[in-house]
Chain A
């Protein structure tokens, strides 16, 4: 297969309702490598493009459990093994006193996982992206809505895909060069 000179075709919409229904139409048409862009989180848009994930919440749960266990073990190691202090025969593993710090390390590790995981799964930071070459795409962070069908999609064919996107009634269809 020869490589298309395009990275994607980008359809621009003026209203959020148009974006949602168009995204569903693209999905139903059988495209898989496409993406919808909006200047704010749109309820149901991820479902409309057929995207579902629980990876991040699971990672955060894992981070939290790690923080909890590691935080407690650190205190246990210090108080019982590395630096035991006998104060009137009280137990060295005085676990109730270790709860506050265990809680803090749980929250710290879970939060770090949430932020770093969000960035990592989203493929950020990514300083450059072909979409940034389209001047109209600047409004994707302001008041316009976009659907990009990638040329890597098996169903992508520059003319027919363009006709299909135009049939979705966008205000314009842009070429995204590689």
Chain B
């Protein structure tokens, strides 16, 4: 590359959110041809088979759980919340990036979101499905999960609305519903495109039903845009509220290490961090596999790296503040939790957390690193692991040694803890593979709109 002045470089960058030379027709064909083909790539079969095998592992684990009860997991007193709750928080955090990319970046008019939002929303939906399983599996009597819902029962009792666990029920179910709505609304015009492109009757009928008769009239579009913008405006505070409420599950209790005011913002930042890492983890291989370099450009990857860096630093600030609070509060138990993290039996997990979540992501400061996609992928993977460790550190280390040394104990996850975890990864990946095969992974109509804007700017 030759030397260019900063101004022209900037101009080039504003345009390179979509590769040059694309027309309305070409973006439509490129994206929908991934779905509307009779040739499924071999790699898809391989990927789906492996994911499906793990999904079956989940089925086995859940069946055994229902037979034997949660005693098959390693949880007991004092550590009553183990890997299952770690996984719940981990998955729900991953889900948040989808809403953030779709809603917040839409409100901020960040056009680069267009080629990644559909995919990220799908990821949200699948991650929330995985997350939603855990609290129910954790109930011990999962068949009575509906007792959480407020309905006039013959037992004459009602849920306790002052409990953060009830808030959680409402937050997660609202979040799942709104994410699904947002995703589906975004898909309607694309279903119409697929309907009109379909050559087989089956395709025409199925996509026709899903498109619900969408014709793209000016009146349709006006109401559609109104609805989409309002949904984005509603989803933005929602996503913040959901992880805030998840953090309340901990912060409202009196357990040392949980009872801090920093939890809500620190959890939300952690969710953004984890979510963007997961988007990168999945997007980078997909981009290579499906040849989407024109739509997911280096600029997208660079921007996502910036978000990772920024949210990672907020998370680092959260870690720092936890230590500060423990010292400044003068509270013996809080201090013990931090010292136990530093030097206790699980200390290696704490230091692994610092390494994977704080130290390694700092590589993204270097533009050479950001351009090396393999390294970016490895950094994102490190954050995925780090965020899992973070929840383990918060939950298990705080619980296993609390106030009275007589009630201290150790927690070791069992095979079934791990099989359930890897099983939900299988569920997530299976859903993802089905999504890639049957639905457009990039919003087609928004890409056409983007092409239109780029053309307008060029004129």
| A, B assembled together | yes
Interface residues of A (CB under 8 A from B): 16, 23, 35-42, 45-46, 48-49, 51, 53, 56-57, 60, 64, 74-75, 78-79, 82-83, 85, 94, 97-98, 100-101, 103-105, 107-108, 110-112, 114-115, 117-119, 121-129, 131, 138-143
Select one of A40, A53, A75, A127 contacting B449, CB under 8 A. Answer: A40
Question: Which residues from chain A contact B156 at a C-beta distance below 8 Å?
Answer: 83
User: Which residues of chain B are near A123, meaning CB under 8 Å?
Assistant: 213
Which one of B234-242, B284-292, B337-345 is at the A interface?
B234-242
**A74 and B213 alpha carbons, distance in the complex (Å):** 38
Binds A, one of B104-112, B169-177, B295-303, B325-333: B169-177
Answer whether A83 and B158 are a contact pair too, CB < 8 Å, given A38-B218, A110-B230, A141-B216: yes
Q: A56-B226, A100-B241, A108-B174 are in contact. Are A35 and B219 (CB under 8 A)?
A: yes
Contact assessment for B218 and A111 in the assembled complex, using a CB-CB cutoff below 8 Å: no
Contact with A along B178-191 (1 / 0, CB 8 A): 10011011000100
How far apart sit A97 and B161, CA to CA, in the bound complex (Å)?
A: 7
Query: Distance (Å) between the CB of B165 and the closest chain A CB?
Result: 11
Which of B158, B192, B196, B248 meets A100, CB within 8 Å? B248
Interface centre among A39, A101, A129, A131 (most CB of B within 10 A): A39
Q: Which of A74, A83, A104, A117 has the most CB of B within 10 A?
A: A104
Q: Mark B200-233, 1 if CB is under 8 A from A, else 0.
A: 0000000011001111111111111111001100
Cβ of B10 within 8 Å of any chain A Cβ, yes or no, is no
Give the nearest-CB partner of A54 in chain B. B226
Query: Can you list 16 A-B pairs with a CB-CB distance of less than 8 A?
Result: A23-B218, A36-B217, A56-B227, A79-B162, A98-B162, A101-B170, A104-B170, A104-B241, A111-B178, A111-B182, A117-B227, A124-B213, A125-B213, A140-B196, A141-B216, A143-B25
Q: A114-B231, A119-B212, A142-B196 are in contact. Are A16 and B452 (CB under 8 A)?
A: yes
Q: Which residues of B contact A (CB under 8 A)?
A: 23-25, 28, 150, 156-162, 164, 166-167, 170-171, 174, 177-178, 181-182, 184-185, 189, 192-193, 195-197, 208-209, 212-227, 230-231, 234-235, 237-238, 241, 245, 248, 445-446, 448-449, 452
Identify whether the interface residues of B are mostly helix, strand, loop, or mixed.
helix
Q: Which residue of chain B is the closest to A78 with respect to CB atoms?
A: B158
**B157 and chain A: residue at smallest CB distance:** A83
Q: Is the CB of A53 within 8 A of B221?
A: no
Contacts of B216 in A (CB 8 A): 37-40, 140-141
Q: Which residues of B contact A35 (CB under 8 A)?
A: 217-219
CB-CB nearest in chain B for A148: B217
| Cα distance, A82 to B24, chains bound together (Å) | 59
Q: In whole angstroms, what is the CA distance A45 to B223 when docked?
A: 12
Q: Report Cα–Cα, A46/B202, bound state, in Å.
A: 34
Question: What distance in Å separates the Cβ of B23 from its nearest Cβ neighbour in chain A?
Answer: 7
How far does the alpha carbon of A75 sit from the alpha carbon of B216 in the complex, in Å?
42
Docked-complex contact B174 and A104, CB < 8 angstroms: yes
Give the complex CA separation of A60 and B226 in angstroms: 10
* Cβ-defined contact, B223 with A122, below 8 A: yes
Shortest Cβ distance from residue A16 to the other chain B in the assembled complex, whole angstroms = 6
Residue of A at shortest CB range from B196?
A138
Given contacts A82-B158, A117-B227, A122-B219, contact A107 B234 (CB under 8 A): yes
A114-B197 in contact (CB<8A): no
Residues of A within 8 A of B24 (CB): 39-40, 142-143
Kindly state the separation between the CA atoms of A27 and B155 in the bound complex, as whole angstroms.
Answer: 64
Residue A37 contacts which of B164, B170, B215 (CB distance < 8 angstroms)? B215
Residue among B170, B178, B217, B237 with the highest chain A CB neighbour number at 10 A:
B217
Beyond A98-B162, A103-B241, 19 additional contacts (C-beta under 8 Å) are A38-B218, A41-B225, A41-B445, A42-B452, A56-B230, A75-B161, A97-B161, A97-B162, A100-B245, A101-B167, A101-B170, A108-B177, A108-B178, A114-B181, A115-B181, A117-B227, A118-B185, A123-B213, A124-B212
Q: Give the shortest distance, in Å, between A122 (CB) and chain B (any CB).
A: 5
- Are B449 and A41 touching (Cβ within 8 A)? yes
Instruction: Verify A122–B171 contact, CB threshold 8 A.
Output: no
Q: Which residues of A contact B452 (CB under 8 A)?
A: 16, 40, 42
Distance between Cα atoms of A124 and B213 in the complex (Å): 6
In contact, B218 and A118 (Cβ under 8 angstroms): no
B223 touches A56 (CB 8 A): yes
Residues of the B chain whose Cβ atoms lie less than 8 Å from the Cβ of A41: 221-222, 224-225, 445, 449
Given contacts A56-B227, A110-B234, contact A127 B208 (CB under 8 A): yes
Query: If the complex has contacts A107-B237, A111-B178, A141-B216, are A60 and B230 also in contact, measured as CB distance less than 8 A?
Result: yes
A139 to B215: give the CA distance in the assembly, Å: 10
CA gap between A83 and B150 in the complex, in Å: 11
9 nearest CB pairs, A to B: A125-B212, A126-B213, A118-B227, A143-B24, A46-B222, A83-B158, A138-B196, A40-B449, A97-B162
User: Are B159 and A107 in contact, with the CB atoms below 8 A?
Assistant: no
A45 to B241, CA, bound (A): 36
In-complex Cβ contact of A142 among B158, B164, B193 (8 A): B193
